[in-house]
Each structure stands twice: as structure tokens, then as C-alpha cells.
Structure 1
Amino acid sequence: MKNTPYFERTPFFFDQNHFRMRLADGKAIAIFKDALHAAKVNFDRRFREGEDIRTLVYEQAHFVDFLLHYAWHQFHWQGSVCLIAVGGYGRGELHPASDIDLLFLHQEQLPQADLEAIEGFFTFLWDIGLDIGHSVRTLAQCVEIAAQDITVATNILESRTLMGDGQLRDELLALTGPDKIWPPDAFFKAKFQEQQERHAKHDNSSNNLEPNVKNAPGGLRDIQMIGWVAKRFFNVRTIRQLEGRGFFTEEEFAILLTGEEFLWRVRYGLHMLAKRGEERLLFDHQRELATLFGYKDTPERLAIEQFMHRYYRIVQALQELNDVLLQFLSEAILQAGQQQNVEPINARFQLRNGFIEAAYTRVFEDDPSALLEIFVLMGKDKRILGVRASTIRLIRECRHLIDDEFRKDPDNTALFMDLMRSPYSLVRQLKRMKRYGILGRYLPEFDRITGQMQHDLFHIYTVDEHTLLVMKNMRRFRLPYAQEKYPVAHHIMKRLEKPELLYIAGLFHDIAKGRGGDHSMLGKVDAEAFCERHGLTGRETRLVSWLVEMHLLMSAVSQKQDISDPDVIHKFALLVGDQLRLDYLYLLTVADINGTNPDLWNTWRASLMRQLYLETKRALRRGLENPIDRQDIILETQQAAIRKLEDKNFSESRIRTLWGDMGDDYFLRESHLDIAWHTEAIACHRSDEPLVLIRQSRFNGMEGATQIFVRTKDRDNVFAAAANALSGLDLDIQDARLYSSPDGYTIDTFFVLDENGEPTHHDRFDIIRRTLHDELSLVDKYPDIIQRRTPRVLKHFAMPSRTMISNDLLAGTTVLEVISPDRPGLLAAIGRVFLSFGIQLQNAKIATLGERVEDIFFITDSEGQPLSDAAQCEALQVSICKALDDIVGQHS
């Protein structure tokens, strides 16, 4: 038995004699179902106990082979037919919920009895619970389809005979071989195009928060891709048969096998936990898989972060391997027989048919600086298409030469700065350096963030992926298309004297993530050391380190503070200091927001950033010693609004009467156009019913959001009702401005975006008005808050809600900041808590950052005074956190 080939052995848990005896008694469907269930229990137990994953994957396929054998014999076959396994099952691999792909191959004419048997056979397989993918074709049909469809040709390449006339499959293989259809060059081009399209669907990144184990870059498909092309070219059945043929190095073969085993374990666990063919590593399963893989939380890192860090590291190694081997195959297949056009670059490198290569094999050993020089050369010459496979291997073999002495060498620091000034494809070179293991060795601090997960919904990429994406965004600001999407950034970038300083700040802004402590301060120290080592001037070093330290400042001010307040602008301008820093900080902030989560950048956030930039620019031009007077702004706004209203036959005395004793904040925060719009509507509104106005906002000349103005009698829970109504319409509140008028009314302005992050269409204005009227009519007997279902992803983040509270003595309010996952009904829930504590909401600053909110509420007690009771403040904070955290538990 020891010498029996694996696939000829019966699975040890499957008692064929007992199975046959039961079949003799009838009730075949129930017997097959029992066998499948018993096998599933057996395989799952062994997986949890840590059995070798290859044994489980192969044995599952082998077990299904036996079931199909017995299912086949439940029917009578007369003609020449063949049952063939294709796809992954054709390779003899099967995960718990993988499709079992079958091809029924037959001669041109089949007896009616066989046609009925085929239909009955597949019906039987479905009835017993097998996930079958099937096709029934003649030999001629298979050849015709395979010639047109690369996927079908690939499936045939990996097929094996299960039952019936095996000669049919032999004929099929002969008719679809590389000498008949899809010769190696055409096959390679088609599969490579297929891979590029697949990678594009996953943003060309393996480092997404919920990666696809099968299809994302570095996933199982990339391993299979290598196998398919290599098998076609070398005419072998399995990758193992390529060992010793010069295709793999020993190290590469080890990376391939260990990477495949790890991803198989992950995929097996996913299928087992999801009870379906799930290929995405969802948050639902990451924590469970981390436990299954033996990871435990530590004070430094969560088990889930350790598990995902290993995952990202492995898929990165597989990406690198895919890059090398496909380049090798490209040279062997596509360039075979081509005239070799070799052009010397310098003594160390030459260009061969568009790809750079080492001029001789010892180039990196003789001159380790060449490990950086090769990327500098590619950044300077856009003709260079890539690196030849043989040279990639040399780079990997010699990267150990990068040590402390190498990093301190002035020649090498000069080369790295040359790279940062590259006219072409800087980020592409940095990505190559990362894949080939050069960037992490030259910058050990970058190596520490490689594959580091950020376990929140604010960031959707690992730290290293995010960092390179931020730098890519910076480079994009130079392109013509950015003039429309990022007009301010495009304008600044075109006249930026030293963009390399911006790129260095981008490279270091998150470099200290995951070390504990303030990553901005820790990163500042790293940035200073880098700048000094790389010969930057003192002024340049101070600029870069300041940018790293302050990289969150502009985003925080624009989203959390009232940027219509001249005092806020003045304080921000004092922190910035000069126009140069403002320009660099604006570019870094916009690139960072877009590189954190593409959904964060919308018209509203763009308008806030633009307003903060322009107002600060004016403050700097005016001089920091000449801050603008608040009363001057209020007077200018009032006079402009009066002129607008006088054009519509309003007298100034009537206007002043309508305004009454409206506070300064109203005239500071609202534009004269909006004030005129409000005032005219209030004058014409002769009803106690709520007044609701809606239009698209024009924020500093840019469309930012949909603007909703609500005036209603000042009663408890107005804010909660309005927030709940807007939430029910899938409108996200971006900002809320709340004012109490002296005549007993509350005046609220909401700026909202739809679920796509865009101003809502005017066709929805009527339903928004009706919904707000209906909800506000219930304020006096307001029911319990109605919530929508909590999104799936929010349930898997341990970050609880948290609050901070302080008193603003100048404004006469208490400032409450709430940081929480963006739960449905969040603002309405907070409003209910305020009601229960007798809290009056004076104002609010709403900031939704992806799936996280950082909202600031300006509140007073029922007498309009700041909260002074410490016990009440603590109870308020505890109640808000509990109310928000309970939403997930009650509605998930």
C-alpha cells in the first residue's frame, strides 16, 4: 500500500464496502448525502486540528472522485461518453465550497438513453448537494469554443478523466494543444491581459482591508497564472515537474509552495466559516481565522492585525514572484527568436529590447550602489519598460548588501534624492523597490509599516500601500485632468519649486504608525534624521519635519472647526506661519485624504479645504499682526444682505425687525445671499408650520452639498427629529448650523450629501420637505428613534464610541466631541440623550470621515449656561457612548 499512488488510494475514513452495502438497499440520495456530511465533519475537524492543508485539499477532491464513480454507476451508458474534471477540480484540488467543474464529452451522435442518463446524472448530483458546474459538448464543439475562449482552453489544459471513454479526452488534448490552438505566445498574451484586468478590479492592490484571497494581486490566481503559462510553454502537467528546469530558483520554488499552502489554509478556513464559496477575507471572518491560526492579542498588536500582517507579507512575496516569473516567461516566449537590440547605458547597465539589465552578473556585488542606481535610471528614461527577470533575481540575491554603512554612504543618499526628483514614474519605481525588497532595506522604518494593517474603517489600505498612494496622488496633481478635479492643488503644484520635499513628507507622514505614541511626533524625528542624512538644508529639513508633524492639522481644522470664524482662521494662520508652508500642507492634506479612502473626498470636503486655504492665504497677505475684526465681517454681511433685500422692496427697518436679536454667529457663518434667502422666505411664510427651504449650496463659488434650511418653533428634540428624517432618506449630514431666534423659533441649516457622496438631485427636494414636515410634526410626542440596520462591517471593529468635554468660556457653551463608527441614526440617538438630560444644543460641527464620525456639539444646560456639574458631564458622556454602542448590538 505504501507504493500506491495517492490518487488511487481510498480515503481512510471512507468505507467503500459499507457504502456499497447501503446502496444495495436503495435510498441512494440519502446515502450519498450522509457520506458527504460525514466527510465534511471529518475534514473540518482535521483542519481545526492543524492537519496538512495539501492532504485535505487533495483528499477532498479524491473523495468526490469516489462519489462520482458510484453516482456514474447509478445509470446505464450505451454510447461513447467521457466524464472529465476541469478547472481546480481538474488539478485534483478541492476546497470546502469550491465548484466541482465537470465536462461531459461525447461523440457527435448520442443515443437518447445516454442523453436521458446525462440529465439524470446531473440532477442526481444536485439532489445530493454537490455544487456542480457542468457543460455537455462534442469534441468538435470543445475545440471550436476553446479556440475562441482562453478560459475554456485553460480548463482543458488542467483536465483529467474521471469516468467513461478516456480516449475522447486524449483526442481533445491533441486537438487543443499548442501546435493546434493558442500557441505559447498567444496563450501568454491572453492570460497576461486577463491578469491585468483582474488586478484592475481590485485597484491593483493586494493590501485592501478586505482582500480577495483568490483574485487580488498576489492571490491564488497569480500562482495559477504562473502554472498555466509555464505548463503551456514547457508542456508539463504540474508545476512540480518544472523543478530543476531552470525556471525557478530554489528560493522561488519555496516561496511559491509556502505561499500557496498559506493561502489554501486561509481559503479553506473562509469556506468553512462562511459555509459558501467566499473568496473575500471579510471582517466577519478575519478574527475567527486569526484565532484558528493560533494568534493571540498582545499589548502591542491585536491577533487579527498579526494574522493580516502575515497575510499581506505573503501576498507581497507572491506578487514579487509573479513579476519575476512572468517577466522570465515573457522573455522566453515572446522575445524568443527576436533580434536582440542591446544599447549600453553605462558600465553597469544596458537596455535589451526595452528592458534594463545588468551588464554583467557581478554588477551589484562589485558596486552595491547599483541597487539604487537602476531605479534612478528608470525614473529618468521613460523608454525603459521594466527590469529583465535575470536582473530582478540578481537584485534579490544581493539586497542583503544594503546595511547601515550602505545607508550612510553619500553616494547612495545622493542616488536616493535623485530618485525623489525623478521626472518619470517615481511611485512606480518605489513600488518596484518595495516588491524587490530594496525600499524596506534602505529605509528600515518603511519596512516596519509594510503589510501593517490599520484596523479601522477610516483607512482601507495597509500603511505602506496608503503611503505610496498618497505620493501617487501628489504626482497626479501635475496632470491636466487634475485642473478640473483638484483645481487648487493643480495650481499650487505647477509652481512648486521643490516637489521632492513634498514627496519626502508624504513618504514619512505615517512612517511611525503602529509604534505606540503620537505617530506624527515620532515620524517628525524620523523625517529630520532622513533629511540630515540626505544633505537637505536646515530650512528644507524644518519644512519637511513640520509637514510630517502637522499633516493632520488642516484636515482637522476644516472639518472640526468653524472656518467662517475669523478667529479660527487667524489661529490656523499663526500655526502655518507663511505661504510656502500653507501650499505644501494643502497638497499633503488633499493627497492624504484621497489616499486614505477615495470615498472621503467629495464636493463638500473639497469646498471646506478650498475655503480654509483661501481664507488663510488672505490672512497671511494681510499680515498676522493685522487680524480681521469680527464686527467688521458681521457689518459687511448685514449690509450686503440688506442691499439684496432692498432690491426686492424690503425696507431696512422691516429687515432689522425680521432679524430681531439674531446672534453674531448667524451673520458670521451664513453668507449674505443665504441670509437674504432666509429672510425673504420667513417674511412670506405666514403659518405656524415649519418652513423648509432646499437648494444646492454654492460654497465659495463651488458646489459643495445640498443645503436644507429649517425654521420651526423651538421645542425639545427638533434636532433629533430632523437628523432622523434625513438619516431615513440616506442623506449624510456634513455640517449642521443651529441658531435660536429671539421670537421663539429655531433656525437650522443642514448641508447633506447622498449615499454616493454627491449633492442630492433636485427631483428629491419635495420628498425631503414632506419627510421633514412629517417628522417635525411628531416632535411633541416624539417616538423612540427608528434605526436602519447597522452595516456589516461596523460590527467587527472593537473601537467603542468615546467623548471629550470642555467649556468654551468665551462662547459661553460646553464643547462635546463624539468620536464613533458612523452608525445609522447616530445624530438622532445623541439628540435623544440631550433631551433626557435637559441639554440645549446651540450648534454642531459634523464630520463624517468614511465610516467614522468626529462630531462636535456646542451645548448648554436648560438655562443656557455651560455645564458646570462634573458628575452631570460624566453621566452625559457615559450615556452617549452607551446609546451609540448599543445600536450595533441591537440592530446587527
Structure 2
Amino acid sequence: MAEVQTLRARYQEQKSLLLQNVRDSGASTRGVHSALQNLSNLADQTLRTLWAEAGFTPSFALVAVGGFGRGELFPYSDVDVLLMLPEGVSPEHDEDLRSRIEGFIGSCWDTGLEIGSSVRNVAECVAESAKDVTVQTSLLESRLIAGDARLFADFQRRFAETLDPKAFFVAKTLELRQRHTKFENTPYSLEPNCKESPGGLRDLQAILWVAKAARLGNSWDDLVRTGLATPFEARQIKRNESLLTLIRARLHLIARRREDRLVFDLQTAVAESFGYTSESSDGVGLPARASESLMRRYYWAAKAVTQLNQILLLNIEERLNPSTHAPRPINERFNEKAGMIDVASDDLYHRHPHAILETFLLYETNVGLRGLSARTLRALYNARGLMDAKFRSDPVNRDTFRRILQQPVGITHAMRLMNETSVLGRYLWVFRKIVGQMQHDLFHVYTVDQHILMVLRNMRRFFMAEHAHEYPSCSQLAAGWDKPWILYTAALFHDIAKGRGGDHSELGAKDVRRFCAQHGIEREDAQLIEFLVIEHLTMSRIAQKADLSNPDVIADFAKRVGNERYLTALYLLTVADIRGTSPKVWNAWKGKLLEDLYRYTIRVLGGRAPDPDAEVEGRKRDALVLLALHAEPFESQKALWDTLDVGYFMRHDASDIAWHTRQLSRHIALARNLAGTPNAKPIQAIVRARLSPVGEGLQVMVYTPDQPDLFARICGFFDQAGFSIVDAKVHTTTNGYALDTFQVVTSMLPEHYRELTSMVETDLDRTLVQQGPLPSPSRGRVSRRVKSFPIAPRVDLRPDEKAQRWLLTISASDRLGLLYMVARVLAKYHLSVQLAKVSTLGERVEDSFLIQGAELQYNRKRIEIETELIQALAA
């Protein structure tokens, strides 16, 4: 035991010294591979000592496999070893051997080696590898640490005889594809896995695995000698591999465990270990996060790895399966080869730089082309330096790029391919500035360039019949749109000025104005594109924050857009933009709000002046039709409608009015008829719930005597029950009753719809009748993203345009119970809520409330209210 303790102390001391070298290397990647090799060598030495002390006979072998077999060991990676047994020997039938193996493995752990072990003879190794490509890959990288060299040589020979390079290539490329799909096929995740994500270390390892299996080389220099890679490509691979290796090693050291994800919690610490600090950038005085500098560097490396991985794997595939397809000429510069665009000569782009953009125009205009050949990808990779200022200002190239934008099909794939090959950023220089740029707003889950391409994809889908079921209203509008490329151009530029300081909408409008002038886009079209870029946030803001029942809001918005063409274009861009931020941001309720705003505005633009009386009468007529369909008695609505004013009918559509009437009219009529009799009892509370007509969550109606803390009490119930409120319409009738409607969502819908509606109706009714003190708000844990990118809570309280009510707007990091805490403050000051719009943007909330109350007339009280709200949001 004393010997093991001594060995452990020596191993830990030497390992600490080696790890300190990795810590002290700063941003330099020069010595990272030798440092990890030294860690591997240290593990080898320790294993040899323990192997010798275990007393195995000379006919046994200790073999390093997997990542350890490559001869590089990351700080907290497993030490994977194989105890190779001679034929005819088995621990199952040899108690002494089993005891030695268990003792050896135990001593490894006691020494501080985190062992991953297997025990097999040669035949078992070969048999297992034939069944599992993961085992096959692990054994492919095996090397002898100690023991019988002849046994290991015999294994290598028999393993090589059974290894089918073609089958192995297919298995590894399928595995790579599945792995990329798991990470959404993008290297630009905001929390990438530097080992497994597209563009990570695993992509580089996959190249060497299939090359080694095909006996084409074991190193990057070998691939150069065999003609699979150029010297330039090998240098690029080595440089980017060293960066990714250093990032992964630093992640292990900072996390003090095996951690390969660049999670938000660790990004800043890793960045600071590279020497990055927060400082002003671009001369505009904006703080640039240290993590942002690191991640930009990571994304550029991952992008290069993705390109080179594709080039080299296609080259290896061509070696393993030489194409039998004769090239078919497309024109004098390009051929079609097995469905791929193939350059006619390796130096095409250097001789004819105009052919660079022509490549992507051909991709769009030739049916059946699936992508670019390895030869074309390599030629583009080596031609990046040609795309300079002169290239960008060339009239021929500008004409080609405009034609790429204006093609009826293929725009999404063409732009993605241009971004993957670095052509888009090289030609459109303002786009290059946002490639790999993170967005620290808890709203977007993609880098700026990937968000833009996602919005472009969404816009394109509006014009594709096979996607009409996703956005029916948008697809219907797109069907009548004459120039889709206008919308594509606006999508490409709408966020292109992010990160420069100032208003990115205004800066982006200047960029697109210059672009349109340079590319010969007609004035009328250019003005629409510029309008879309500068106003791309307006429609979303109004729909989610303003009172759409207010005719002045609609009239002002109609004046801002000017005409139906501009409105339709802005609506399509807004939907595409919100859908392109995060899978969690869009919901059916936001879709309805945007659709309502579009519909109300189109009426005004059509010359129909806002007329509240006419609107109310129209909604009443439509509601009566719906009531007749349910066989409601004649004038059954009268008892309820006599207590409702214009504001109610303006704020609710016909279907909601009909639903409220069906649920309440009988109770109200009965209470009216019994008024003044001994049996008279006032209505205490009526709660009804149904699946939301919008198609997501529940719609809940509450009818109960009004009281100052009613909104807070209802919010408290939903908070305790695990529901999130996305919209609330609060109305007080002329006879003193509250008639409130809530849109709520929960993760349990729709499977438990009936149980949930019953629970809400019963339990909320009981909560309102029993009264009692307001429950304490839930204190939910904030997410890792919120911890890493906290938002300073903001509160804005100002009178509306008519100075009759007050508009309260709050912004804060989202967490459980947040709305209820706001409602408690409002209840404390006896403020009644007329309208609540709850907008969750990723992990940030932007909520708006229309409120009334006597306390708001006093400046000192308003300051108190705002202060308490900020304290509640920050708690």
C-alpha cells in the first residue's frame, strides 16, 4: 500500500507540473500537443510500473486503445486500456489470474489513473470489432504499452485482415452524419461541444480513422504525401486542430472534470485563460465580452474544420470508390459529376475569378445538382484570397450575385453553401463581420449569421407548397407576392449590423441602401427593402405590447407602413424573423396577435376609417350567429350584454363573446330574476376553461365580484399550479363584476386536457370564494443562461396618449413566479389591471400592462411603485 501511495504522489505531482504548462501557455497553441503527449507518456510510465508489480507472465500484453491509443491524454479523460490475453487463457477459469487483473485495475485507480478497461484475447478482439464499429475504431488506434510484442503484432495482423476499408468508411460517415444531426448540423451552437459538434475534434479524427483504415496515411503529413491533402490544407488543419485541442484541455482544467462543452458558465474563464479581456471594440465604446472574442475564434476554426472535413472525406471516398460516372459538361468551365458541380480545372478560379459566384448560380439553375465536388470545394477554399475589394466591386460579380438572389428556387441552399465555403462573407463584406458573432440577449439561440440564414429559410418556405401547412396565412399572402427576392434580400440584411453599436436597424438600412445602389436594384424595390430592414422590429413590438383594441394604435401603425404591399412584406418578414430566433420563442398566441394586427391594419389601409361603434355592432352580430348555432334562447345574451361597455366588445372577438355569453347568461339572468327575494344569492365566482381556440394551451374565463387584489390572486393560483400566463384581458362590468380572460400554457397539454380544465375550474373557483391571504410566490431557479447573461430589470411607467390610463412595461430575466410578483406589487397599491400582455423571448420577458388607480396621480407614489417593482424583478 505504501508503494502505491508513493506512486500516486509522484504521478499527481508530475501531472500537476504538466498541467501547469498548459495553463501558462496563454493563447499560444504551439506546445499543446507535446503537453498532452507528455501526459500520455506519464500515464504509460505509471502503467508499466503497476504492470510489472502485478506479476503478469510475459505472454500477456497491455494495450492503449481509443483516445489514449493516439498518444495524447487530456487532463480528465479516461485512460482506456485493453488487457490482451494469450489464446486459451481465461480469467473465468483461473482464480489467480482474475485476482491479478482485479488487483492491477484497483491499483490503477488507487494511483489516480481513471481507467477504462477491457479484458480479451485476440480472437475476441477481432470478433467484437466485427460487430461494433465503435470497438473497431477504438482498436484501430491501439498501441502497445507493455508485455508481449509478438502477441500485439499478431493482433494487428488479424485485425487488419478483417477490416474492410469501404464498409468502415460508410459506417463512420453515417456515424458522423448522425452526430451532426444531434447538434443540429451547425458548428454555431451558442454552447458547442468542441469534441463532438460539427467542426469539432471528432471531425478531424474521423478523417484520420478512415484514412488509416484505407492505408492512406496515419497523419496529416501522410495525407499530403498520398495526395489527399495539399500542404496548405495540412497547415490549416494543424493550426485549427491545435486551437480546438487547447480549448478542450483548458475546459477540463477549469471545470476540474471531463467537460467538452463550451457552456456559458465556463466561456469567460476559458477566454480569460487565453488572455482575452473585456474592452471597447470598433471605437464605439461598447464592451466586448472576453467570451465573445474566444467564441468568434472558435467558430472560425470550426468552420474551417467543417470545410476541410468535407473536402478530405470526399477525396478518400473517391479513392475507395473511383467514380464510374463520366463528367457531363455544363459549360466550358464546369462539369456535372455524379450529381456534383465539378470544376473543369483545378486553377479555374485563379484564371477566371468570375466563376466563383457562377458556381452558386449554376447550383440554383441546374436541376438535379446536389452539391459541390471535393475538387470544387478545394478550389474554392484555395481561392478565398481572390475575393478582395476589386472582386467585390466588379460589375460582372455584382450582376451574378443579384441573379443568385433573384432565382425562383434554390436560394436557401445556395446561401448556406456560400456561407459554408466562406464565399458569402468574402463577397458581402458586411456579412463577414457577423459570421460567428454571438448574441447575448437570452432571445436568440443562434449566432447572427446562422439566425439570418434561418430567417431566409423561413421566408423561402412561405413560397413552397409543401410547407403551406406550417404558416397557412403567410403562405396565402406569399402566393400573391410578385418578387420574392425582395423579401430574401431584406432577410439577408435585417440583422447584418448587429454588434456595431447604435441602432442595428438604422445601420442595416444604410448597408442595404448602398447594396441596392451597387447592384442596380430599381428605386421602388430598393425603398421597400430599406423600409423592411429599418422597421423589421416594429410590427412585433406593437402586436406584443400595444392595445390592439385601440383604434389610434392601428391608425398610427397603418400610417407608418403606408400601403398594403409594405404591410404584407413586413408581416412576412416579422413572422420569419421570430420563427428564426429560437424554437421556444414562437407560439400560436404570438401568431394570432400578428395576424390580428395585420387584419386590423389592412382594413384601415383599404380606406375604412376606424369606427368603434360599427366594429362593436359587427362583433355582436357575429356572436349572435354563433349563439344561434348552439340553440341559445332568444335574447339570452341581453342580461350579460347590458352590463358590458364598448371597451369589452372592442377587446374580444366574436367567438370569445359568444363563449362568455353561453357560460354566463343563464346564471346572470337567474340572479336578476331572484333579486329582492329571500332566495336571492349573488354570484360568487364562475370559472370556465377550454382548449384555446388559438390551438395552444387553455383559455380561462373568470367572472366574480371585483376586488383590488383579484388579478394578483388569479396570477397566484396559476403560479402555484404551474401555468404560464401569455395574455390577460381584464374587464369590469357596470354591475361591479370582473370578467377576465386568460391564455395560459403548461407543458402537460394537450394529453391531460380534460383533467386540467376540470382542475382549473374547480380549484380556481375555490381559491376565489375562500379568499384568504395571497400565497407566497414560487422561487424558481434561474437557468444557466440567465446566470451567465443576467439582464438588469427595467420598469417603465407612463400615461397613455389620452392620459386616462397608464402603460407599465417591464423587462427582466424569466423565472417561475415573476408575473405573480409583479401582480402582488400592483395589488398592494390598489392598481387595477385592464390589459396584460406577457411576452417571453427565450429566457427574457417583455411584459406590458394597462393599469389604473388613484395612486398613479402622485409622483412620489409612482416612484415607490417603480422601485418596488424593480426590487421584485431582481429578487
Query: Please, what TM-score do these two structures have when normalized by structure 2?
Result: 0.91
Does structure 1 residue 815 correspond to structure 2 residue 807?
yes
Is 2:323 the counterpart of 1:306?
A: no
Per-residue deviation at 1:644?
A: 5.9
Distance 1:877 1:60, change over 3 A: farther
| Equivalent residue for 2:657, pick from 671, 675, 682 | 675
Match of 1:710 in 2: 702
How many Å apart are 1:838 and its aligned residue?
4.0
Q: 2:685 is matched by which residue type in structure 1? A: P
Counterpart position of 1:272: 253
Partner in structure 1 of residue 868 of structure 2: 879
Q: Which amino acid aligns with 2:457?
A: K
1:340 CA drift (Å) = 5.2
Map of 1:793 onto structure 2 = 785
**1:344 lines up with 2:333 in the alignment:** no
Structure 1 residue identity aligned to 2:316: L
Q: Secondary structure, in 3 states, of the residue corresponding to 1:598?
A: coil
Instruction: Using the TM superposition, name which of 387-396 and 201-210 deviates more.
Output: 387-396
**2:843 equivalent in structure 1:** 851
More displaced, 394-403 or 787-796?
Answer: 394-403
CA distance in 2 between partners of 1:775 and 1:41 (Å): 61
Q: 2-side partners of 1:167 and 1:775: how far apart?
A: 80
Structure 1 distance, partners of 2:408, 2:62, is 58
Which segment drifts farther, 191-200 or 267-276? 267-276
Q: Is the 8 A contact 1:715 1:779 kept in 2?
A: no
Question: What is the aligned partner in structure 1 of residue 596 from structure 2?
Answer: 611
Amino acid at match of 1:201: K
Q: Deviations over 1:253-278 (max 9, x none)?
A: 22212212221222122222333322
Matched, 1:195 2:195: no
Distance (whole Å) between structure 2 residues aligned to residue 880 and residue 712 of structure 1: 27
Say which SS state the counterpart of residue 693 (structure 2) adopts.
strand
Residue 778 of structure 1, CA deviation: 7.2
2:317 pairs with one of 330, 336, 341: 330
The aligned runs of 1:105-124 (5 Å cut-off) are 105-106=84-85, 107-110=87-90, 111-124=94-107
1:385 to 351, 370, 384: 370
Structure 2 Cα separation of the partners of residues 658 and 495 of structure 1: 43
Paired position in structure 2 for 1:297: 278
Q: Distance in 2 between matches of 1:196 and 1:531?
A: 39
Q: Distance in 1 between matches of 2:378 and 2:579?
A: 35
Deviation at 1:553, TM superposition (A): 2.0
1:438 aligned residue (417, 423, 426) = 423
2:517 maps to which residue?
532
Look up the equivalent residue of 1:317 and give its one-letter code.
Answer: A
Tell me the secondary structure at the aligned position of residue 164 of structure 2: coil
Task: Tell me the distance in 2 between the aligned counterparts of 1:120 and 1:850.
Answer: 52
1:722–1:545 distance in 2 versus 1, CA, 3 Å: same
The alignment status of 1:157 with 2:140, answered yes or no, reads: yes
Query: Which residue, out of 335, 348, 352, partners 1:363?
Result: 348
Conserved 8 A contact 1:724-1:785: yes
Deviation at 1:217? 0.8
Please name the residue that 1:698 is paired with: 693
Report the Cα offset of residue 304 of structure 1: 1.8
Task: Give the letter aligned to residue 23 of structure 2.
Answer: R
For residues 728-739 of structure 1, the aligned pairs below 5 Å read 728-739=720-731
Q: CA offsets, 1:331-374, max 9 Å, x none? A: 22222xx4350222222222334332322344323322111111
2:21 alignment partner AA: R
Q: Is 1:262 equivalent to 2:243 in the alignment?
A: yes
Task: Read off the aligned partner of 1:144 and give its amino acid letter.
Answer: A
Counterpart contact for 1:823–1:884, Cα < 8 Å: no
- 1:50 is aligned to 25
Whichever residue aligns with residue 37 of structure 2, its letter is: Y
Q: Deviations over 1:751-784 (max 9, x none)?
A: 0122389797333223334553465467542243
Note the residue ranges of structure 1 that are not aligned, 5 or more in a row.
Answer: 1-22, 887-892
* Partner Cα separation in structure 1 for residue 721 and residue 299 of structure 2: 38
| TM-score between the two structures when normalised by the length of structure 1 | 0.89
- Name the stretch that deviates more: 749-758 or 225-234: 749-758
CA shift in 2, pair 1:86/1:599, >3 Å: same
Q: Which amino acid aligns with 1:695?
A: R
Distance change >3 Å, CA 211–CA 770, structure 1 → 2? farther
- 1:145-294 equivalences in 2 (<5 Å): 145-177=128-160, 179-183=161-165, 185-294=166-275
- Give the partner amino acid of 1:717: D
Displacement of 1:241: 4.0
Could you say what secondary structure the match of 1:176 adopts? helix
Partner of residue 99, structure 1: 78
Moved more, 531-540 or 779-788: 779-788
Q: Any idea what SS the aligned residue of 1:846 has?
A: strand
Native 8 Å contact 1:84 1:163 kept in 2: yes
Query: Once superposed, what is the RMSD of the aligned Cα atoms?
Result: 2.7
Counterpart position of 2:38: 59
Residue 235 of structure 1: CA displacement?
Answer: 4.7
Q: Which runs of 5+ in 2 are unaligned?
A: 281-285, 669-680
Give the letter for the 1:148 counterpart: K
Q: Tell me which residue corresponds to 1:319.
A: 306
**Amino acid of the structure 1 residue aligned with 2:95:** Q
Query: Contact 1:446 / 1:464 at 8 angstroms: preserved in 2?
Result: yes
Structure 2 counterpart SS, 1:101: strand
Percent of pairs with identical residues: 36
- Identify if the C-alpha distance between structure 1 residues 172 and 385 changes in structure 2 by more than 3 Å, giving closer, same or farther: farther
Q: Which residue, 499, 503, 509 being the options, matches 2:484?
A: 499
Tell me, yes or no, if the aligned pair for 1:219 and 1:263 is still in contact at 8 Å: yes
Moved more, 504-513 or 663-672: 663-672
Q: Which residue of 2 aligns with 1:20?
A: none
Shifted more, 84-93 versus 629-638: the winner is 629-638
1:705 shift after superposition: 3.6
Cα displacement string for residues 291-346 of structure 1 (whole angstroms, at most 9, x for unaligned residues): 222111123322221221111111111112212222222222222xx435022222
For 1:724 and 1:88, the matched residues in 2 are separated by 53
* Residue among 64, 81, 104 paired with 2:60: 81
Residues 291-690 of structure 1 aligned to structure 2 (within 5 Å) = 291-299=272-280, 300=286, 301-335=288-322, 338-339=323-324, 341-620=326-605, 622-623=606-607, 626-641=608-623, 652=635, 655-659=637-641, 661-682=643-664, 683-684=666-667, 689-690=684-685
- Aligned to 1:600, what secondary structure does the other structure show? coil
With over 3 angstroms needed to count, the CA separation of the structure-2 counterparts of 1:427 and 1:674, relative to structure 1, is closer
Q: Is the 8 A contact 2:33 2:242 kept in 1?
A: yes
d(CA) in 1 for partners of 2:53 and 2:712?
67
Kindly provide the amino acid, as one letter, of the partner of residue 59 in structure 1.
N
- 1:828 maps to 820
Secondary structure of 2:320 counterpart: helix
Task: Report how many residues are paired.
Answer: 847
Q: Aligned partners of 2:612, 2:306: CA distance in 1, in Å? A: 58
Matched residues in 2 for 1:733 and 1:128: separation? 56
Amino acid at match of 2:576: A
Letter in 2 for 1:82: A
Sort the Cα spacing of 1:129 and 1:497 in 2 relative to 1 into closer, same or farther, 3 A. Answer: same
Label 1:696 to 1:339 Cα distance change in 2 as closer, same or farther (>3 A). closer
The more displaced of 769-778 and 446-455 is 769-778
